[in-house]
Structure 1
Amino acid sequence: MNTIAFDIDADGIAILTIDVPGQSMNVIGPDFLADLDAAITRIASEEGIKGAVIASGKDSGFMAGMDLKFFGAMLAKAGDAPAPAALYDDLFVLNALFRRLESSGKPIACAIEGTCVGGGFELALACHRRFVGDSPRTQMGLPEILIGLFPGGGGSQRLPRIMGVQAALMYMLQGKLFRPAEAAMLKVVDAVVPQGTAVQAARDWVQANPTAGTQPWDVKGFKVPGGAGGFNPAFVQTMAGALAMTLKQTQRNMHAPIALLSAVYEGITLPMDRAIQIESKYFAKVAADRQASNMIRTLFVNKQAAERGARRPKGEAKAPTKKLAMLGAGMMGAGIATVAAQAGIEVVLFDRDLAYAQKGKAHVEEVLKKRLGKGMTPEKLEQTLARVTPTTDYADLAGADFVIEAVFEDVTIKADVTKQVEAVLGADTIFGSNTSTLPITKLAQAWTKPENFIGVHFFSPVEKMPLVEIILGEKTGPAAIAKALDFVSQIKKTPIVVHDSRGFYTSRSFGTYVQEGAELVGEGVNPALIENAGKQLGMPTGPLAVSDEVSIELGWKIMSAAKKELGDAYVPQESDEIMVQMVEAGRLGRKNGKGWYDYPESGKKHLSPVLGEMFPRAAQQPDVEAVKERLLYRQLIECARCFEEGVLETPEDGDIGAIFGWGFAPYTGGPFSHMDTVGIAHVVAVLDRLAAEHGPRFAPTAQLREMAASGATFYHPAPAKAAA
């Protein structure tokens, strides 16, 4: 066996130690499936084997899910648009193996130390007992829904039979993970034991229970905790409520949650052999859909590749940050200081006023206190906080090996700070600017060695937002890129790398969603219709609400600065005048309590009635699909322009940046995945129609037209022309 060490001790207990070669975490691939098949045959057939313990040989944890490269190959084998029936047999293999394991007639215990998720957790659920080592790092659960799938190795059938339908659905529909104590309370695991002793505890149970080789659901008279079936009022109420909540949360865009509900509803009262067939039927249907493959590619495969340094320059030595000079202690600077200190980096938190710098450190403390009991101890809190030193003295920055600047968005102010820092640290230090819109090439002029100047764009709140946009100026060199990416890796964020442009990629493309919302209001479209269309599209919130959150005034300032900077080259948007009207009316957004919405001191925010006076309502309103189309395609064309202009080098960065940067509809896999899926020719046709109806902002790029003509997509080049 290549992936499982099979040992039998003196008491006849088989110890199966999973250690998939060449993988940092155990995953399910073809070799593992073959080895598990052989192991189950031995356990069931050899009289000398009294039972078995399944454990991991890796320090990283017990096991993750399926090797997604193997899963992708399975989909590819079934064809470009595979039918569910073509996938069913291959996908059912895992379910059949786990069923053979639990019905082998011998007691099987699982010893979980560290991460145990996806298919790994489904393997654990198929064992007769689960013992878990007590560690704050240990997480268990079924997070498949987060990448467009649902549990397909029996998880949708076993978890509800263990903890009840309502509780199981809550965890599976959210992709929520269990900590050890929580799992024990919910009876998902049978015992939490001291870290490092799970194998011994599992072995002791097998030795003491030689006849315990039957699952509860295989015993006559078994009842699902809390009840199940069409005649059980609690079950019917749970399923009806779950469906309504799921449709509301997903806006009917996600396929996997509905398939999961169907699998549970149909399978929960059937014998397990039939129930897992039901599950695999629905799993094959979801897997055959492009939605799942797009989500897996962006949210898992490409995200992991980015985090492992896919865009890091080859040949550059590792350059971890030891001491960070954090310039600016506002919300953004304090957030960066927090994640850096948590990563073990010493931080000098600089601001022009000591009270501001100290306030920034207080923010760090506030964030850390919220994590007490969630992996944070009082001792660790003090150690982390001690790494942050507030100051107003540039001299205190001495010894810093990386600089991040997050001062006021003004070229002159940033240039002054940049020069002051260079006087202390020298131009050989890598300098990163956390600007969201100002061109990096221009800002780099204040640093003597522009090759050591780079953009490092964080998103607010830094502690929660996973993305960092790395921006290359015209002269940014490989050492600066490597340093920035190594820092992002240290703080466990996801990077994308883009080239310089006003607004770069994320701010520029996200801004079009807000702009189109404003232009729709200006045309007299009902603001409530606009907001609902945005949410139905799959965006986290409507364009008007998000405009209020980031501040209408900020958008107006960015627009004014661009006008001033570009002069005659500035291309005015119809939304410009609408922003001017809002600012002149004192409606700046949430920050001053009135924008598109009103924010009363008591009560919920609501769309302001004054909007009807400022922007009279059109007699004829568009339907919601037309509004959704405009909001979507205005973003798509800007993303395509960024690709044509070279702001983006890869569609991977474009998709990751869109979903994790501004919340672009995750079910699509990102704007470039979506354009590939619906077809570039279709995208061009829709854009041509929208441009004719609403103006040149929707006009397709020349590159899109060429791709439509050649059959090329963003992820695949044009097919080769046949020889004459």
Structure 2
Amino acid sequence: MTIHFERDDEGIVTLTLDMPGSANVMNAEYHRLMGEAVARLEAEREGITGVVLTSAKKTFFAGGDLNVLVRITPDNAAEALGFLEDVKGQLRRLERLGRPVVAAINGSALGGGFEIALACHHRVALDDDRIRIGLPEATLGLLPGAGGVTRLVRLLGVQPALPLLMEGRQLRPARALQAGMVHELAATREELVAKARAWIRANPEPVQPWDGPGYAVPDVRVGDPDLYGLLAAAPAVLRKKTHGVFPAPERVLAAAVEGALVDFDTALVVEARYFVELVTGQVAKNMINTFWFQLNAITAGGSRPAGVERTAVTRVGVLGAGMMGAGIAEVSAKAGIEVVLKDVTLEAARRGAGDTPGITPTDSDADLAGCDLVVEAVFEDRELKHRVLPAAEASALPDAVIASNTSTLPITGLASAVSDPTRFIGLHFFSPVPKMRLVEIIRGEKTSDETLARAFDYVIRIGKTPIVVNDSRGFYTSRTFGTYVTEAVSMVAEGVAPALVENVARRAGMAVGPLAVSDEVTLTLPLRIRDQTLADDPANAGALGDHPAFAVLEELVAGGRTGKAGGAGFYEYPEGGRKFLWPGLRRWAGADAGVTERDVEDRLLFIQSLETIRCLDEGVLTSVGDANVGSVLGFGFAPWSGGTVQFVNSYGLREFVERADYLADTYGERFRPPTSLRERAARGEAY
């Protein structure tokens, strides 16, 4: 395994990246091999007319080796910086070889892979929609450190480059061409190489734009008043989005702007220093751990039963054409699956189907014939679900998987509605279905391995991320997210200013403020869940009945404030205007609630992490990865933290237990750490 060096009769060298393993990555082996290749090109330069850089893998280049990056600390940062300077030095020598160098991008080129391509004079990409091109480092808490910021800014200008860098956008080839990131597209691999070679023949002495005389970054001119307006506003606009908890976009902005105002080689130094600052920080380690290692383990089938053959759903029946059912039908149809969408009336089914091809609307169970998967997505009412499930099961194929999209009702109880509970499972989608990536798969007491595997394969097929949990009221996501909402409402009841609760939650990195999200899901939902829980388990009556949050919710609902759909909740929703917190919430205001901003933030984050630990203790969750990924993708737990369990790890278990005890002493026993957490902290272990 190497970087293959082949020179033809025209003097064109093809460098084919073929690193050990399934993908090319930027590690010590790459550093050695690329160093040897560049040295050989320099030594044999007189006999070389050009260089085509391509890959022997399905991908062009996968980027930096995250196994290496995650181990960089302040103690070995100087060594890491030296390695990075060497890697960038090799690319600098390549682009200043004095011969045309073309990247023939035959697969995805992300992160370090696209940085290599940027060091080439010309980029030709295979026109395949499966290919992604870009610099996604910010999504893992990093920035491109091998010249990506410096070169993209000089290629496109600061303003066009910043969204691509700060948001880590991954573009299909056609969009990358439009953005100016690649120069040409090719329909086939043969055409890809042919176009690369043709450009070499036509451009025997190319120079990178930034190495040409008099070059300046396209939209940066010292003394330009428009530039200073941009530079003054950009940090404030960014802070409004990140609330200061995501350091990567801020460092990208700094590296881009500061680098644009100095020469190219100095800009590389600026970029490298910001990269090392990020890679040694805790946020990057949190995000790499969850959004790379744990997420990849999940999608590779870590929670899928072993030894069960993979299956492909061919026909899905969806019961209920409301927002959830319509969304499930849409994502299934767009994945190439035949869909039958059933509601009580044909008109309602047609509304839900909209204009999405592949969906057949119906009001008849008979049309579910031939379905090998049925997903029930009707109103969250046990009796209603028990009515619709048996008829659907009778009409579908005899071995069809029958699933419920319930968000709270235990799957084992719902399974009693069908004749074969081994084929029954929970598939909890999140709203809006087309945008939300997570599906929580809930295994009932009698759900078979085959049923779980088939459900898992379906979720992967429709492009979603599956986590697998065991049965429990509220499962993992609804149960844990419910603590976030009720804790916030409890603080309102205590007299904490509602605006403070909302602002602190967003500043902490939560996707949506808890009062705003309460309005979105309706204020009646937690009351219905409480009532159903009390009916099923009267032993919980004391804890639930005395919870201060429910008194606030009951009073609001009694006054007709049921949430956004009802036109009023914690917020007012003026027609044509922006929502604002209802002034009537002053009814609970205290002159001095005595709750500090730090306590507000910790109550909101700690309560979710503690509930997650309880889910692990009870066996509802069976993996830390499912907990972390599920918390961020499912209910918007602060992504910078890496998820509810990683938040505990990065806080430090001893410190977390100490702080949780303070919160329990001050605000209630719900914050008291479980014994398992205390014992783990005492042993000095992390999750």
Q: TM-score, normalised by structure 1?
A: 0.90
3-state DSSP class of the match of 1:528? helix
Which one-letter code corresponds to 2:598 in the other structure?
A: E
**Are positions 1:111 and 2:93 aligned together?**
no
C-alpha separation between the residues in 2 aligned to 1:142 and 1:7? 29
Q: Could you tell me how far apart the structure 2 residues matched to 1:186 and 1:307 are?
A: 30
User: In 2, distance between residues paired with 1:485 and 1:32?
Assistant: 36
Residues 243-252 or 480-489, more deviating? 243-252
Deviation digits for residues 372-426 of structure 1 (CA, Å, limit 9, x no counterpart): xxxxxxxxxxxxx1x3222222222222212211122122221222222333346
- State the partner residue of 2:257: 265
Residue type matched to 2:648 in 1?
M
Match of 1:701 among 674, 684, 687: 674
Shift of 1:6: 2.2
Letter in structure 1 aligned against 2:54: A
* Aligned residue number for residue 720 of structure 1: none
Q: Distance in 2 between matches of 1:388 and 1:395?
A: 16
Distance in 1, matches of 2:662 and 2:302, equals 38
CA distance in 2, matches of 1:186, 1:392: 47
Question: Over residues 603-650 of structure 1, what are the superposed CA-to-partner deviations in whole Å (9 max), with x where a residue is unaligned?
Answer: 11111111113x243345533222112111121211111111111111
Partner of 1:636: 609
- 2:9 corresponds to 1:10: yes
Match of 1:592?
Answer: 566
Aligned Cα RMSD in Å?
Answer: 2.0
Give, in angstroms, the shift of residue 92 of structure 1.
3.0
Q: Which amino acid aligns with 1:253?
A: V
* Counterpart code for 1:52: V
Classify the secondary structure of the residue corresponding to 1:436. coil
Preserved contact between residue 394 and residue 421 of structure 1 (Cα < 8 Å): yes
Partner of 2:622: 649
Is the CA contact 1:227–1:234 (under 8 Å) kept in the aligned structure 2?
no
Aligned equivalents of 1:434, 1:640: Cα separation in 2: 24
Shift of 1:300: 1.9
**Residue of structure 1 equivalent to 2:152:** 159
1:469 matched to 2:434? The reply is no
Which one is further off, 179-188 or 520-529? 179-188
C-alpha distance in 1 between matches for 2:683 and 2:279: 29
What residue identity is the alignment partner of 1:522? A
Secondary structure of residue in 2 paired with 1:88: helix
CA contact (8 A) 2:99 2:205 kept: yes
- 2:551 aligned residue (572, 577, 598): 577
Give the AA of the match of 1:407: V
Matched, 1:285 2:314: no
Paired residues, what number?
682
- Counterparts of 1:356-505 in structure 2, within 5 Å, are 356-362=348-354, 365=355, 385=357, 387-425=358-396, 428-505=399-476
Secondary structure (helix, strand or coil) at the match of 2:515 reads helix
Q: Which moved more, 1:525-534 or 1:181-190?
A: 181-190
Work out whether residues 55 and 62 of structure 1, in 8 Å CA contact, stay in contact via their aligned partners in 2.
yes
Deviation at 1:328, TM superposition (A): 1.6
CA contact 1:183–1:189 (8 Å) conserved in 2: yes
2:182 to 171, 176, 189: 189
Which stretch shifts more, 570-579 or 690-699? 570-579
What residue is the counterpart of 2:64 in the other structure? 66
| Stretch of structure 1 that moved more, 233-242 or 9-18 | 233-242
Contact 1:427 1:452 survives alignment (8 Å)? no
- SS of aligned partner of 1:319: coil
1:205 partner letter: W
Q: Does 1:204 align with 2:198?
A: yes
Q: Distance in 1 between matches of 2:234 and 2:63?
A: 25
User: Which of 496-505 and 191-200 deviates more?
Assistant: 191-200
- 1:135 Cα deviation after fit: 4.2
Distance in 1, matches of 2:597 and 2:422, equals: 49
Aligned equivalents of 1:349 and 1:27: distance in 2? 45
- Structure 1 counterpart SS, 2:434: coil
Alpha-carbon contact 1:20-1:26 (below 8 Å) kept = yes
Matched with 2:55 is: 56
User: 1:658 aligned to 2:631?
Assistant: yes
Q: CA deviation at 1:533?
A: 0.7
> Hey, what's the Cα distance between the residues in 2 that align with 1:262 and 1:142?
16
Residues 474-518 of structure 1, C-alpha deviation per residue, up to 9 Å, x if partnerless?
222211110111001110110111111110100111111111111
Paired with 1:228 and 1:649, the residues of 2 have a C-alpha distance of 56
1:702 & 1:332 partners in 2: Cα distance?
A: 39
Cα offset for 1:195? 4.9
Change (3 A) 1:483 1:181: closer
Aligned-residue offset at 1:3: 4.0
Structure 1 residues 621 and 543: alpha-carbon distance in aligned structure 2, compared to 1, 3 A threshold: same
Aligned to 1:294: 286
**Is the CA contact (8 Å cut-off) linking 2:166 and 2:248 kept in structure 1?**
no
Q: 1:178 to 1:413 in 2, by over 3 A?
A: closer
Q: Contact between 1:406 and 1:435, CA under 8 Å: does it hold in 2?
A: yes
Take 1:21 and 1:352, find their aligned partners in 2: how far apart are those partners? 57
Look up the SS of the partner of 1:53 in the other structure: strand
Cα distance in 1 between the residues matched to 2:495 and 2:76: 45
Aligned-partner Cα distance in 2 for 1:553–1:83 = 54
Normalised to the residue count of structure 2, the TM-score between the two structures is: 0.95
Q: For each residue in 1:421-452, what CA deviation from the matched residue of structure 2 results, as whole angstroms up to 9, or x when unmatched?
A: 33334663321111100001111122233222
Instruction: Report the residue type matching 2:463 in the other structure.
Output: K
Which residue of 673, 684, 687 corresponds with 1:711? 684
1:671 aligns with 2:665: no
Change (3 A) 1:193 1:449: closer
Residue identity matched to 1:317 = E
Paired position in structure 2 for 1:382: none
Q: Distance in 1 between matches of 2:19 and 2:62?
A: 11
Q: Which residue of 2 aligns with 1:372?
A: none
- The Cα shift of 1:98 comes to 1.5
The reply on whether 1:218 has 2:211 as its aligned counterpart is yes
**2: CA distance, partners of 1:556 / 1:201:** 65
CA distance in 2, matches of 1:446, 1:51: 70
The whole-number CA distance in structure 2 between the counterparts of 1:316 and 1:586 is 51
SS at match of 2:60: strand
**2:605 aligned with 1:606:** no
**Other-structure match for 1:381:** none
Deviation digits for residues 126-171 of structure 1 (CA, Å, limit 9, x no counterpart): 1112223444444322111011111111011111111111221122
Alpha-carbon distance, 1:592 to partner: 1.0
In structure 2, which of residues 143, 162, 178 is the aligned counterpart of residue 150 of structure 1? Answer: 143
Structure 2 CA distance for partners of 1:607 and 1:200, relative to 1, 3 Å: same
Per-residue deviation, 1:21: 5.0
**Higher mean C-alpha displacement, 522-531 vs 409-418:** 409-418
Deviations 1:650-672 (A, max 9, x none): 11110000000011000011111
- Name 2:41's counterpart in structure 1: 43
1:348 aligns with 2:340: yes
Which 10-residue stretch deviates more, 423-432 or 318-327?
A: 423-432
Q: 1:336 to 1:121 in 2, by over 3 A?
A: same
Note the residue ranges of structure 2 that are not aligned, 5 or more in a row. none
Distance 1:117-1:713 versus aligned 2 partners, 3 A rule: same
Q: Give 1:35 deviation, angstroms.
A: 2.4
- The answer to whether 1:539 aligns with 2:510 is yes
Which stretches in structure 1 are left out of the alignment for 5+ residues?
Answer: 369-384, 715-724
Question: Is the Cα–Cα contact under 8 Å of residues 11 and 47 in structure 2 kept in the other structure?
Answer: yes
Q: Secondary structure of 1:603's match?
A: coil
Q: Structure 1: which 4+ aligned runs deviate by more than 6 Å? A: none
Structure 1 residue 232: deviation in Å? 4.5
1:525–1:618 CA contact under 8 A, matched in 2: no
Q: What's 1:376 paired with?
A: none
Deviation of the 1:320 alpha carbon: 1.5
* Aligned-partner SS, 2:47: coil
